[in-house]
Amino acid sequence: MKSPSSHQGGTEQGEDIEQLINSALDQSADNLSERVLADLAQTRNRALRAGHEEPAATNFAESLSQWIIQPLPRVAVPVVAVVAVAVSLNYIWTETIPPLSLAMVAEEMPTEDLSLLEDLEFVTWLAENEQDMRL
């Protein structure tokens, strides 16, 4: 079967199908609308910008992800995390507050206050003694 254009001396029939496809695609690429060309240029510029910006942002993430999948960190990180949580939950504060030196107290506190404190200590001692005797 021949196309009607063959009778008009057209060259289309003689062309191979590949050439027809390529010429059609070339034609289509050459005749892209202004809007498509603008969008393509924008897309290209975005990609080029991303190429300049991306490395700084991805280097840390990449290096972290590379480090975390190493055998030692993969075991050590969870172990350290569990130990840290266990210690923080079970740790008891045993260290007592150091007493103030008597010299400093004597120098800075008034004499009346010091005698009052001594009386208070004596009353507390008496009360403790009475409690012990009752028991």
Partner 1 sequence: MGSMTSSTITTREDDAEVAPVSPPLTMEAFLADIEKRAYHMAAYAAGSHADALDLLQDSMIKLVTSYSDRPPAEWKPLFYKILKNCIRDWHRRQKVKNLLFFWSNTRADEGYEEWPPTTAKSDDSENPEAEMARSQHQAAALKHMAQLSEKQRQCLLLRSWEGLSTAQTADVMGCSEGSVKTHYSRAIAKMRKLMEVDHEISF
Q: Which of residues 4 and 110 has its CB atom nearest to partner 1 in the complex?
A: 4
When asked if residue 12 is in the footprint of partner 1 (CB under 8 A), the reply is: yes
* Helix/strand/coil for 108: helix
What is the footprint of partner 1 within residues 55-94 (CB under 8 A)? 55, 58
Q: Which of residues 38 and 116 has its CB atom nearest to partner 1 in the complex?
A: 38
Residue type present at position 118:
E
Min. distance of Cβ 52 from partner 1 in angstroms?
Answer: 8
Min. distance of Cβ 24 from partner 1 in angstroms?
Answer: 4
Residue type present at position 110:
P
When asked if residue 5 is in the footprint of partner 1 (CB under 8 A), the reply is: yes
Residues 6+ apart with CB under 8 A from 13: 2, 3, 5, 6
When asked if residue 95 is in the footprint of partner 1 (CB under 8 A), the reply is: no
Could you tell me the CA-to-CA distances from 80 to 63, 83, 84, 123 in Å, in that order?
20, 5, 6, 52
Min. distance of Cβ 14 from partner 1 in angstroms?
Answer: 9
Query: 73 with 67: CB under 8 angstroms?
Result: yes
Give residue 90's Cα distance to chain centre.
28
Q: Which of residues 33 and 96 has its CB atom nearest to partner 1 in the complex?
A: 33
